[in-house]
Amino acid sequence: MSETTAPKAVEGTLGFLDERLGSTTFFKRNVKKVFPDHWSFMLGEIALYSFVILLLTGTFLTLWFKPSMLEVVYEGSYTKLNGVKMSEAYASTLHISFDVRGGLLMRQIHHWAAILFMASIIAHMLRVFFTGAYRKPRELNWLIGIGMFTLGMLEGLFGYSLPDDLLSGTGLRITQGVAEAIPLVGTYVYMFLFGGEFPGQDIVPRLFTLHVLLIPGIILGLVTAHMMIMWHQKHTAMPTQKQTEDQVYGYPFYPVFMAKTGAYFLFTFGVLALLGAFAQINPIWLFGPYDPGAISSASQPDWYMGVLEGSLRLMPNWEITAVGHTLSLNVLIPALVPLGIVFGGAAAWPFLEQWVTGDKRLHNVNDRPRNAPVRTGIGMAAVTFYGLLWVAGANDVVAERFHVSLFATTWFFRVAIFVGPVLAYIITKRMCLGLQRSDAATIDHGVESGIIMMSPDGRYSERHEPARPEERHVILSKENARAERPAVDANGVPAPGSKGPVGHLRSRLNQAWNFDDVPIEDNGHDHGHDEVEGGKETKQISH
């Protein structure tokens, strides 16, 4: 490990803390911690910034929101609803929007931050998946990420249900139906949550407690654990000429990374403030208070709940009635199966991949997506499945905009959610293999130079030049398929784990994983030269 002294700007602070806490060694060691520099790492930071903004704006809104279903008559600044009976929750939300200084801005920043939080989490998880950054030793952080996204969905559902407007009340009605569809305990779950017949007097106060205390506390704990594990294990890095499995190359935490992350937080806050000021979202005064007899068309939940909305709209009206009881598959399957496939599969994937490939090594350098075609193809299949269900959640809008029948639109999506992921897998895998062949050609024959040469016999050809050293290093970072361990040793003794149906299944999956792999070998003819990056303040530190 290279030794450097702590910056002078923090020496006084470190001395102050050491005299009282004896922690100088810890701070000196961590103030020099190196972070790799790549744009995709920004995705996780945006999720963190959005969560901080959610906490700040949510605290502001809590000061004026009244989580009560008590019926009142509205007499406020929004005159179009004067004299209308509504819950205190809805009336207080109108009060925040029209009477509290900065209230509407805070409401909208809060809502946009929630959307950005979920979007950045899923974008960050896709980056982690496609680059293989979840592999050993980072499986636990991968599971934490899935848990945060799942809790974020619940937090969003509870949050936009609090105002008790027509749109959120419709969503709560669906939630009630899903709860009642749970076999055996559904009625108890529904009564426990709502405290009586829908909508009851207890649902908003209970959602308020869950929304501002329980779930944020759990997410905060998961974020803390996620950061601590990442700090201990160090960041993964993209394959570069200077990055190895045993060395981190990038910027030191202080002062470069600290200054950059502070600026990015302000950028994120600025974008959300602009959205809150100029892009209207969730105008509850246009929806009116919740009325079970009122119906609205083209109503949509926030985007991250669209997959559940879509699966509910596509599911046929299947019910099973036996022994005096009805099992509502038309509600139960859409609520549990799609997310179970996506998130259950994502949670099991790191361990399944390790079992199939037999790769139990530590990985600190990421893969290029093209170099893991099976993983990338399965990832794109999951994205396609999720995306089609998301679009299907607006099948009425799609039918109206494109002037096709709702019946035809529904059946299109019913077929597409089965055919689309298969096509996405096949196409993505073929693209990855094509890119691998292009990389192999670059290593074997070089890159086009744009220089045309004429041979003595009058033929024209383009001269190829060796790839740049950095490009060669990135291409050669691909690991060629490793031969599967023999099923028996020299004495004919079966290898552990190779016997039985499970062993045969693993062998078949291993063959499928490595099938069509394009080997890329270094031909040893590197005519390039090492390039030194100028003007970039960096530091290297060994693990």
Q: What is the domain partition of the chain in residue ranges?
A: 1-30, 35-313
Render pLDDT for 93-111 as a digit per residue (tens, 0 to 9).
999 999 999 999 999 999 9
- Cα gap 314→334, rounded to integer Å: 8
User: What's the topology of domain 35-313?
Assistant: Cytochrome Bc1 Complex; Chain C (1.20.810)
User: What predicted TM-score, i.e. pTM, was given to this entire model?
Assistant: 0.87
Q: What percent of the chain has pLDDT over 70?
A: 88
Q: How many CB atoms lie within 10 A of CB 487?
A: 13
The pLDDT of residue 25 is above 70:
no
Cα separation values, 61 from 71, 154, 164, Å: 21, 19, 15
Neighbours of 79 (CB within 10 A): 10
The 10s digit of each residue's pLDDT in 272-306 is: 999 999 999 999 999 999 888 887 777 788 888 88
Average pLDDT on 76-82 reads: 93
Cα of first residue to Cα of last residue in the chain, in angstroms, is 7
252, 34 in Cβ contact below 8 A? yes
Average pLDDT over residues 354-375: 92
Residue-level length of the chain: 543
Strands 447-454 and 71-73: unpaired
Each residue of 449-508: pLDDT tens digit? Answer: 888 888 888 888 888 888 888 888 888 888 887 766 666 655 656 666 667 788 888 888
Query: What is the identity of the amino acid at 496?
Result: P
